[in-house]
Amino acid sequence: MFRQRKKATRIAVSVAALVLVGGAVAVRSIGPAAAAETTLRAAAAKAGLFFGVAASPNRLYSMVSQEFGQLTPENDMKPDRIATSSGGLQNTSGADQLVNFAQTNNMLVRGHTLVWHSQAGALQGASQSTLNTFIGNAINRWGSKIAYWDVVNEALEDNNTGRRRNQWPHTMNRDANGDGDYFDSGDTDVIRDSFIRAKQVVQAGGYNTKLCINDYDVEGLTVAGGTPNRKANALYDIVRNYRQYIDCVGFQSHFNDNPNSIISSDLQANIQRFADLGVEVHITELDIDDDLSNNDIGSGQAENYRKVVRACLNVAKCTGITVWGISDSESWRSSERGLLFTGSNGSYQKKAAYTAVLDELNKGRNVTTSSVPTSGPVTSRPVITSAPVTTSAPVTTSAPVTTSAPVTSAPVTSSNPTGGCSATVAVNAWTGGYVVSVRVTAGNATINGWNVRLTLPSGSTVTNTWSATASGTTGTVQFNNVSYNAQVNAGQTTEFGFQGTGTATGLNPVCTAS
Q: Does 185 bind ligand G3I (CB under 6 A)?
A: no
Of the residues 67, 74, 157, 237, which one makes contact with ligand G3I according to CB under 6 A: 74
Task: List the interface residues with ligand G3I, window 234-253 (CB under 6 A).
Answer: 252
Give the amino acid at 379. Answer: T
Q: Measured at CB, which residue is nearest to ligand G3I?
A: 332
Kind plus residue range of the DSSP H or E element containing 133 = helix 128-142
Cα 226 to Cα 16, 233, 259, 265, distances in angstroms: 34, 14, 10, 10
Query: Under rule CB under 6 A, how many of the chain's residues touch ligand G3I?
Result: 7
Tell me the closest approach of the beta carbon of residue 68 to ligand G3I, in angstroms: 16
Q: Which stretch binds ligand G3I (CB under 6 A): 6-14, 70-78, 362-370, 442-450?
A: 70-78
> Binding string to ligand G3I for residues 90 to 129, with x set by CB under 6 A, is what?
-----------------------------x----------
Cα torsion 321, 327, 331, 335: sign: positive
Backbone φ, ψ for residue 335 (5° rounding) = -65, -20
Q: How far is the CB of 91 from ligand G3I (least distance, A)?
A: 12
Q: Determine if 327 is a binding residue for ligand G3I (CB under 6 A).
A: no
Q: Which residue in 74, 154, 285, 495 is the catalytic one? A: 285
Question: Is residue 332 near ligand G3I by the rule CB under 6 A?
Answer: yes
Instruction: Return the SS3 of 100.
Output: helix
Cβ 133 to ligand G3I shortest distance, Å: 22
Confirm if 51 and 320 have CB atoms less than 8 A apart.
Answer: yes
CA separation for the pair 455, 452 (Å, rounded):
10
338 CB contacts (<8 Å, ≥6 apart)? 254, 255, 256, 287, 288, 289, 290, 301, 324, 328, 331
Q: What single-letter DSSP state applies at residue 351?
A: -
Tell me how far, at minimum, the Cβ of 331 lies from ligand G3I, in Å. Answer: 7
Helices (H), 277-433: 301-313, 352-363
Cβ distance to ligand G3I smaller for residue 253 or 396: 253
**How near is the Cβ of 261 to ligand G3I at its closest, in Å?**
11
Question: Does residue 61 belong to the site contacting ligand G3I (CB under 6 A)?
Answer: no
Task: Name residue 96's beta-bridge partners.
Answer: none
Does 328 bind ligand G3I (CB under 6 A)? Our answer is: no
Work out whether strand 50-55 and strand 318-323 pair parallel, antiparallel, or are unpaired.
parallel
Nearer of residues 112 and 365 to ligand G3I, judged by Cβ: 112
User: Cα(376)–Cα(230) distance, rounded to whole angstroms?
Assistant: 9
**For ligand G3I, the closer CB: 75 or 329:** 75
- Shorter beta-carbon distance to ligand G3I: residue 117 or 197: 117
CB under 6 A: which stretch of 2-10, 73-81, 337-345, 355-363 binds ligand G3I? 73-81
CA distance linking residue 499 with residue 12, whole number of Å: 39
Facing residues of 29 across strands? 16, 367
Distances, alpha carbon 307 to alpha carbons 69, 288, 386, in Å: 21, 11, 42
Report 352-391 residues binding ligand G3I (CB under 6 A). none
List the one residue from 29, 66, 75, 91 that touches ligand G3I (CB under 6 A): 75
297 vs 326, beta carbon nearer ligand G3I = 326
Backbone φ, ψ for residue 396 (5° rounding): -90, 155
Nearer to ligand G3I, 252 or 422 (CB): 252
Which among 395, 412, 420, 426 has a CA at the least distance from the CA of 497? Answer: 426
- CB-wise, 212 or 477, nearer to ligand G3I? 212
Active site residue 495: no
Answer for which of 76, 181, 247, 285 binds ligand G3I (CB under 6 A) is 285
Residues known to be catalytic = 285
Residues near ligand G3I (CB under 6 A) are 74-75, 78, 119, 252, 285, 332
